[in-house]
Amino acid sequence: MPSSILHDFPIRASAATVFAAVVSPDTWWTLESDVQAALGSTSRLYFGEGYDWRALVSACEPGVTFEWTFTDAMPDWMGTRLRFDLTEADGVTAVHFAHHGWETASEHFRVSSFCWAMYLRLLRRTVETGEVVPYARRLDA
């Protein structure tokens, strides 16, 4: 049965600001990226030697929704969908994060769930404070 990683959390910023950060993953997740916030575009998500991934932008409504479907990644991630749904109220954006389509709740699924919590915390720190943690320190910050 397919599994999903789900995280909900607030960011003290507008949905437009959060959206801009989501589509700039090299500030909080990847080592390098090339992302166009346009439906149907292909994003490059680079994490280092042997981890130069591609994902199709499968949903994109600026300030509201952004989703990637992985087309070139490690086997467990192939075909999975990474989605951000944003809802703003009173200067705070509720982020509803989902990583859908895992084949099983494997060991890598469980590790990725932990890593997502850490990376999403960095996304919030980046947006709220402007801090960009160096890539090599991101899971320790």
pLDDT tens digits, 31-54? 999 999 999 999 999 999 999 999
pLDDT confidence of 2, banded at 50, 70, 90? low
Residue partners of 22: CB distance under 8 A and separation at least 6: 66, 84, 123
Burial of 82 (0-12, 13-18, 19+ CB in 10 A): buried
pLDDT confidence of 1, banded at 50, 70, 90? low
Helix or strand (DSSP H, E) at 87: strand 81-89
pLDDT of residue 104: 87
Average pLDDT for 85-107: 95
Average pLDDT for 93-101: 98
- 2/87: higher pLDDT: 87
Cα-to-chain-centroid distance, residue 18: 11
Average pLDDT for 94-107: 94
* Mean pLDDT value across the chain: 96
pLDDT of residue 140: 87
> What is the share, in percent, of the chain residues with pLDDT greater than 90?
92
Given a contact cutoff of 8 angstroms between Cβ atoms, the answer to whether 96 and 105 are in contact is no
For residue 84, give the nearest of 3, 2, 1, 5 by alpha carbon: 5
Whether residue 57 is predicted with pLDDT greater than 70 in this model: the reply is yes
For residue 125, give the nearest of 113, 112, 137 by alpha carbon: 137
Q: Which residues pair with 94 in a beta bridge?
A: 10, 87
Please compute, for residue 6, the number of CA atoms within 13 A of its CA located in the half-sphere on the CB side.
3
